[in-house]
Every structure is written in structure tokens, then in C-alpha cells.
Amino acid sequence: MMSRYILFFCCLLCYLNFDNRLINANPIGQNCVSSSTYNPNTTTGSTYRTNLNFLLSTLSSNASRATANGFYNFTAGNDPSNTVYGLFMCRGDVNTDVCARCVENASTEIVQKCVDQKTATIWYDECLLRYSNQSIFSRTDTSFPLFLSNTQDVTDPGLFGEVLGNLMDEIASKAANDVSGKKFAVQEANFSTFERKLYGLGQCTPDLSSSDCDTCLRSAISNIPTCCNNRRGGRVIFPSCIIWYETTRFYNVVTPSPEPTPTLPPPSTARSNGDGGISTRTVVAIIVPIFIAIVLIVVAFCIARRSRKRSGVIIVETSGVTEISTIESLQYNLSEIRAATDNFAIGNKIGEGGFGPVFKGTLPNGQEIAVKRLSRTSAQGAEEFKNEIALVANLQHRNLVRILGFCLEGEEKILIYEFVKNKSLDYFLFEPEKQTLLDWSRRYKIIEGIARGLLYLHEDSRLRIVHRDLKASNVLLDRNMNPKIADFGMARLFGVDQSQENTNRIAGTFGYMAPEYALHGLFSIKSDVFSFGVLILEIVSGKKSNGFYQAHGSDDLLGYAWRQWRDGTPLAVVDPSMGDSYAKNEVIRSIQIGLLCVQEVVEQRPTMATVFLMLNSYSLTLQVPNPPAFFGRSRTES
Ligand SMILES: *[C@@H]1O[C@H](CO)[C@@H](O)[C@H](O)[C@H]1NC(C)=O
Ligand SMILES: *[C@@H]1O[C@H](CO)[C@@H](O)[C@H](O)[C@H]1NC(C)=O
Ligand SMILES: *[C@@H]1O[C@H](CO)[C@@H](O)[C@H](O)[C@H]1NC(C)=O
Ligand SMILES: *[C@@H]1O[C@H](CO)[C@@H](O)[C@H](O)[C@H]1NC(C)=O
Ligand SMILES: *[C@@H]1O[C@H](CO)[C@@H](O)[C@H](O)[C@H]1NC(C)=O
Ligand SMILES: CC(=O)N[C@H]1CO[C@H](CO)[C@@H](O)[C@@H]1O
């Protein structure tokens, strides 16, 4: 069911845009539940549409009247089969005018963005509007979070996290108990590092009870690490509540005056803040281009960051390009792809994966792409294939190779990916001349990056993707040696049911596969965790898991690492090409985490969320690993 939900979103064009109205008018995201459309050609459907239109016009007209708390709910229709429930909420600090304009735009836009959807939500900076065929009033809905994060990192993550945690905690309590009826709170905190100030906002739809509001906000707060880890700003937006923080003030000072004071928005998130006075957007529009023009490094930085835009469901970094992943925008013509790859010239071939050859190409605009020409036939029809691609393309994370589009013509099925500059991890890891390029801090960053990407696939994206073939050659390194996981979602594209935990066709690679997967075809997120564990040990040791057996007689890499660990000599595992220059505690911890991931008993393996915590929190005491699945031997025998 989950897989049916398509979340479309778009992110604001941030700089070089001097027109307030334009910026104001763009939704920051919407979600449309694709599986439940009504058919306007049927009687019920057309009544639903009529009711919906009536609902939207009522919401819109009520927004322009002074609604005391920037909130209004309405129900249109009598018959349960065609009743529409809807509400809007404006941000607690915006005035009635801004609220009215926002809701007016939202009520028009929502039917355009979510055509014939029974249920939809649309978010703007200043308001949200939602409707459903089921009552949504006084209920907490924390599905479909929208994540937006500032592109800048904080200077002192430890301190920042602490100040942020305390601030958000207070805001949640304040908003939940807001006596004004708005369920809204803003607060700021001071601290001593570079950022100096932290501004936070929390708001629930006021139909929630205090305790529901508190629950909703705390759930949003618990998503901060996923959304915006170590970023200077971020938002977690649920249908029922929202939290938002930045190091510059982004909300209006709430005063009794009808005209709110304009404020300085966060540097990279040009957002609108109501109206009046010098436009804050103009300030940003001036500052940002100057920044970019003057500081070339910043430009490079921004470009690098573009690829870090994370979406799917849904992480948006609030800089850069407008992006709407509709199926149409993803589709390329075969002629374009032929032109880009010089008609699939052998010279452009950069690899041969399990699913077909990969070519390098260049689009007319100069963008470099990787073109995967699928050779296997998919069990799916063209429409299904397209839908799956739209879903997989929405999985965007800085540690995933991004899908730019696809081409589907005749027998050809082609996937188009961003071109990742460097080669795959195995190329660096297992080549003696290249190994030295990977010092420990790089390797550790790579481990963390892969963990992030995998965590996103497993937990943060609504699709819950099991990669099934995680290995060093499926981890690409960009020009900054950041890892990007490739080849995820292939099982979906080939019509293999992901909810089925059993498969006849094993897609994995020997040396990385969990025993239950290799032997019985049982895959789960825990079989990915196993592969991740193997990968950690390979990264630490610089040795191939499946090449180890031959070189070391009776031992395989996992067994070797475990025995060294047990004997208190874990550092014997370390890649000699790193010399002595590595952080011993990090290395030992990594080996321990790697060993925990390759436990034979599936339940004993941590989830990626736990792995991520283990990698990031030194205060967490790790379990002692049991002997790993000594799988190398039986594998080699077979
Ligand atoms: C709303 O629509 C969904 C999807 O079509 C359906 O499953 C559900 O029963 C509907 N709810 C009501 C109250 O009609
Ligand atoms: C409804 O009818 C219109 C015009 O006849 C047609 O274009 C449209 O595809 C139909 N919609 C559905 C969902 O059947
Ligand atoms: C909301 O709008 C409806 C229809 O436009 C109107 O009848 C109703 O009185 C309005 N409610 C408020 C509180 O203004
Ligand atoms: C608004 O929501 C409340 C529950 O929070 C509900 O009792 C009321 O009927 C709703 N009003 C309309 C017009 O739907
Ligand atoms: C932060 O510092 C300013 C002065 O720099 C002070 O007025 C304000 O009260 C402080 N806020 C908090 C929450 O400590
Ligand atoms: C009703 C309304 O104002 N709609 C506008 C909302 O914003 C978009 C994007 O600029 C406009 O195209 C719509 O006309």
C-alpha cells in the first residue's frame, strides 16, 4: 500500500528572484495519495468534486475573514461516500492578509497539483491546507513528513544539538499549552559559538488536544536527526504539526500590530515571512548572489551541495533548483540518449552491471550522465515501470546515486543516472596504488555515508527499500570521495515484490550475502545490514571479503576479523597501507560494529538506525559480537 503513495514536492527557487509574489506563491511541498483518486465521470465522483470545490472556496473565503487563530475546518457533503473534510492552518505569526493570500493560492493549487485525489495536503511557508474523504479533525497525523534542511552545517554539532534539543523541548511544551488557542510557539536561544542565536518555531493544528499536540511535536523533534542532522536549520512538517528552526530569525515578531515586523530569513533558505517593509527575500536575493559571485569556493560548495538534495519522502535542502519529479519530467527520448552516448559507443561504456551495460553520456546542456541500458526483461508493463521509476527517482539522498530519468521506447528500457566522477569504492579499496588515497578519516566518512544512505533506504523513505546487493562496487565515490550507493530499487523496477520476504531470484553477490539470503533466498533489511558489516570490514582491512579465503587458507575475512577481535588484537585487521595514522578507537569501534552486523542470527544484527547511532555516539556501549556467520567456507565449497 505504501508503495502506492507518490509524494510530489518541489523546492523553492531561492536566489535571483526579486518577485515576492512569485516566491510566496510556490508551495514548499504537497502530497497526493496516488492510489485513491475519484473518477469525476461517475455520479459519486462528480459529487465529490463539487463538494471539494465548495469546501475549498469556503476555506478560501473564511481565510480572508478574520479567523481568530488562523485555522478553519469545514465539512462539505452529507452522504459519507462523497463527504469532504478539510482544514487550513496559517503560521501563527503571519497576519490575516498573508494568511488569506496563502490559503487562496493553496486552494487553487491543490487541485492542480493533486488532480482528482481523494486526499491531499499542500504546504506553503505560511500555511497548510488539507482535505480528505475521512474526518481529519482532532486527529494527529504524522504520516508523510516533509523534511527541509538548511544547506549549511553547524560549527559545533555537539553544542548545537544540545541547545537545539532544549529549545525544541520548551517550544513543544509552550505550543501544546498555548492558551491563545493557536497551539503556536516561537522561542530563541543564545549560545557562544559562531551561530550565536537559534530561533525555533512549533505549531500544531489547533483542533488537536494539548497532549496530542505535544506528541505530534515531539515526534517531529525526533525526526530532526533524520531530516537535518548537524544543519543550521531545518523543518519537519507533518499534516498535523510543524517544527522549524534556523540560526537567523525567520518568523515575524508577534506583536499586536497588524503589520508584522520583517525579519532576516536564513541565508540559504530564502523564504517569505509575511509582508511589509524591506522584503526579506530581497535581502536574501541580494546577499546570496553576491556571496556566490564573490566567493568562488562557496559556488563550488553550493554545487556540491546540490547533489545532496534529499527528497523521496522527503528531504529537501532549501537551496538551489526547483525540482518536480513528475513522470513526464523524467522521461527522455531514445534519440536524446543515443545522441548523448554517441549511439552507445563502446568507448563510452563505463561498466557492466548485473542489469546491463552502463555508458557515459553528455546531454546537450553539458550535463554528464550515466546511462544504464537494461538488458533483462522486466515482469512489468510500461505504465507500472514508469510508476516505479517515479517512486525510485523520488528517493533522493546525498548518499544515493540520483536517478535523473528513464527512457522507454520499444524494447529499450534505459535508466539515466547522475554521473559520479570517481570510480566505485572497490577500485580504490582493493588496488594497491589507490589504497593510499584512502586515509582513515576518508574511510570513516565513507562508512558513515553508506550508513546514512542505507538508513534512508530502510527507514526514511516510505518505500522501505531493501538494496539486496550492497557491495564495494555498488558504492560510487564523488569528486570529494563522498560515497553514493548505486543500483538501489532495481528489484522494484523488475517487478519483484518487496513485501515478499522470499525470493527465487537471488540478486546478491557472494561474499556479501547474509546466510539466510544466500541459502534460502530470505531477504530483509537485516540482510542489507549483513552486507554493510562486510563492507565495513573490507573498508577497514582493505581486503576483499570473497578473495580472502584463497589468500589466507582456512580463514575468511569475517572469521579472521572476529578471531583478531576475540584475541584482543583487532588492529591486526587494519589495512597496512594506512600505516599508523588512524584513530584507534574509531577503527576498533568500526570493527566491532562490522562484526555486530554480520552476526549469524538475524535478530542479533542491529538495524541501520542503531548502527547509525553507534557510529555517531561514543557514549553508547556496544554489545560484544558473537562469532559471525562463518559462511565463507560453505560458500566456497558449494
Ligand atoms: C476514502 O478513500 C479510501 C481510498 O479510496 C477508501 O479506502 C476509504 O474507505 C474512503 N473513506 C470513506 C469514509 O469513504
Ligand atoms: C472522464 O471523461 C473525460 C472526457 O470524456 C475523459 O477525458 C477522462 O479520461 C475521463 N476520466 C476518467 C477517470 O475516466
Ligand atoms: C465561512 O465561509 C462560509 C461560506 O463562505 C460562510 O457561510 C461562513 O459564515 C464563514 N465562516 C466564518 C467563521 O467566517
Ligand atoms: C471542525 O472540527 C471539529 C472537531 O475538531 C468538529 O467537531 C466540527 O464539526 C468541525 N467543523 C466542521 C464545519 O466540520
Ligand atoms: C540572549 O541575549 C540577549 C542579549 O544579547 C538577551 O537580551 C536575551 O534575553 C538572551 N536570551 C536568552 C534566551 O537568554
Ligand atoms: C490563486 C493564485 O494566486 N494562484 C497562484 C499561486 O501561485 C502560482 C505560482 O506562482 C501561480 O501560478 C498561481 O496563479
For the purposes of burial, counting CB atoms within 10 Å of the CB of 320, is it exposed (0-12), middle (13-18) or buried (19 or more)?
Answer: buried
Same fold, 144-246 and 327-418: no
What pLDDT sits at residue 633? 44
Could you tell me if the CB of 42 is within 6 A of ligand 2? Answer: no
**Residue closest by Cα to atom 1 of ligand 4:** 73
Mean pLDDT of the chain, nearest integer: 77
- Is the per-residue pLDDT at 320 higher than 70? no
Q: How far is the CA of 576 from the centre of ligand 5 (A)?
A: 52
Catalytic residue at 469? yes
Tell me the mean pLDDT in the region 154-172. 86
Q: Which CATH class is domain 425-616?
A: mainly alpha
Selection from 98-107, 307-316, 458-467 with the highest mean pLDDT: 98-107
**Ligand 6 pocket test, candidate residues 60, 109, 125, most atoms within 8 A of CB:** 109
What pLDDT sits at residue 443? 95
- Is the per-residue pLDDT at 20 higher than 50? no
Counting from 1 in the atom list of ligand 1, the atom nearest the Cα of 33 is 4
* Protein residues whose CB sits closer than 6 Å to any atom of ligand 4: 73-75, 137-138, 207
Q: In what order do the strands lie in the sheet with 241-246?
A: 184-190, 197-204, 241-246, 234-237, 146-149, 315-317
Ligand nearest to the CA of 196: 5
**Residue closest by Cα to atom 6 of ligand 4:** 137
| Backbone torsions φ then ψ of 356, nearest 5 degrees | 135, 175
**Residue closest by Cα to atom 4 of ligand 3:** 58
Alpha-carbon torsion (511, 513, 517, 521), positive or negative: negative
Q: Which fold has domain 18-132?
A: Killer Toxin P4; Chain A (3.30.430)
What pLDDT sits at residue 111? 92
- Is the per-residue pLDDT at 16 higher than 50? no
Q: How far is the CA of 138 from the centre of ligand 4 (A)?
A: 8
Ligand nearest to the CA of 192: 5
Query: Do 193 and 206 contact (CB within 8 A), yes or no?
Result: no
Q: How far is the CA of 110 from the centre of ligand 1 (A)?
A: 19
Quick: pLDDT tens for 188-243: 998 776 668 899 999 999 999 999 999 999 888 888 887 787 888 899 998 999 99
**Ligand 6 pocket test, candidate residues 108, 127, 322, most atoms within 8 A of CB:** 108
Coil, strand, or helix at residue 442? helix
Q: How far is the CA of 41 from the centre of ligand 2 (A)?
A: 6
| Backbone torsions φ then ψ of 351, nearest 5 degrees | 175, 170
pLDDT above 70: percentage of residues in the chain:
76
Quick: pLDDT tens for 409-439: 888 889 999 999 888 999 999 988 888 889 9
Counting from 1 in the atom list of ligand 4, the atom nearest the Cα of 87 is 1
Coil, strand, or helix at residue 419? coil
- Is the per-residue pLDDT at 629 higher than 80? no
Q: How far is the CA of 190 from the centre of ligand 5 (A)?
A: 6
Q: Compute the CA torsion angle 250, 251, 253, 259 (nearest 10 deg).
A: 110
What pLDDT sits at residue 353? 73
Taking Cα atoms as reference points, which of 28, 167, 15 lies closest to residue 91?
28
Among candidate residues 469, 487, 528, 556, the one labeled active-site is 469
Q: What does the DSSP 8-state code read for residue 458?
A: I
Query: Do 127 and 107 contact (CB within 8 A), yes or no?
Result: no
**Greatest CA separation found in the chain?**
80
What pLDDT sits at residue 57? 94
Could you tell me if the CB of 192 is within 6 A of ligand 5? Answer: no
- Is the per-residue pLDDT at 321 higher than 50? no
Q: How far is the CA of 120 from the centre of ligand 1 (A)?
A: 13
**Residue closest by Cα to atom 14 of ligand 1:** 81
Could you tell me if the CB of 60 is within 6 A of ligand 6? Answer: no
- CATH superfamily to which 327-418 belongs: Phosphorylase Kinase; domain 1 (3.30.200.20)
Taking Cα atoms as reference points, which of 447, 599, 600, 420 lies closest to residue 536?
447
Q: What size, in residues, is the chain?
A: 638
Q: What is the CA radius of gyration of the chain?
A: 26
**pTM to 2 decimals?**
0.49
Counting from 1 in the atom list of ligand 6, the atom nearest the Cα of 101 is 3
CA distance linking residue 414 with residue 424, whole number of Å: 21
What pLDDT sits at residue 13? 26
- Is the per-residue pLDDT at 112 higher than 70? yes
| Comparison of pLDDT for 616 and 625, the residue scoring more | 625
* Protein residues whose CB sits closer than 6 Å to any atom of ligand 3: 58, 61-62, 65
Selection from 85-99, 395-409, 455-469 with the highest mean pLDDT: 85-99
Quick: pLDDT tens for 54-90: 999 999 988 877 566 789 999 999 898 899 999 999 9
What pLDDT sits at residue 107? 94
Q: How far is the CA of 4 from the centre of ligand 1 (A)?
A: 15
- Is the per-residue pLDDT at 91 higher than 90? yes
Domain map (residue ranges) of the chain: 18-132, 144-246, 327-418, 425-616
- Is the per-residue pLDDT at 277 higher than 60? no
**Residue closest by Cα to atom 7 of ligand 3:** 58
Ligand nearest to the CA of 107: 6
Coil, strand, or helix at residue 421? coil
Query: Do 257 and 212 contact (CB within 8 A), yes or no?
Result: no
- Is the per-residue pLDDT at 298 higher than 90? no
Quick: pLDDT tens for 509-538: 777 888 777 777 777 889 999 999 999 999
Q: How far is the CA of 81 from the centre of ligand 3 (A)?
A: 24
- Is the per-residue pLDDT at 561 higher than 50? yes
Could you tell me if the CB of 187 is within 6 A of ligand 5? Answer: no
Contacts of 375 (CB under 8 A, 6+ apart): 355, 356, 357
CA distance linking residue 154 with residue 239, whole number of Å: 28
Could you tell me if the CB of 166 is within 6 A of ligand 5? Answer: no
Taking Cα atoms as reference points, which of 485, 483, 463 lies closest to residue 389?
463
Secondary structure E strands in 475-595:
475-477, 483-485
- Is the per-residue pLDDT at 311 higher than 60? no
Q: Chain centroid to CA 483: how far?
A: 15
Ligand nearest to the CA of 133: 1
What pLDDT sits at residue 29? 80
**Ligand 5 pocket test, candidate residues 190, 196, 199, most atoms within 8 A of CB:** 190
Report residue 241 as a C-alpha cell. 504539526
Q: Which CATH class is domain 144-246?
A: alpha beta
Quick: pLDDT tens for 331-385: 889 999 999 999 999 999 988 876 788 999 999 888 899 999 987 666 667 777 7
- Is the per-residue pLDDT at 148 higher than 90? no
Q: How far is the CA of 29 from the centre of ligand 5 (A)?
A: 34
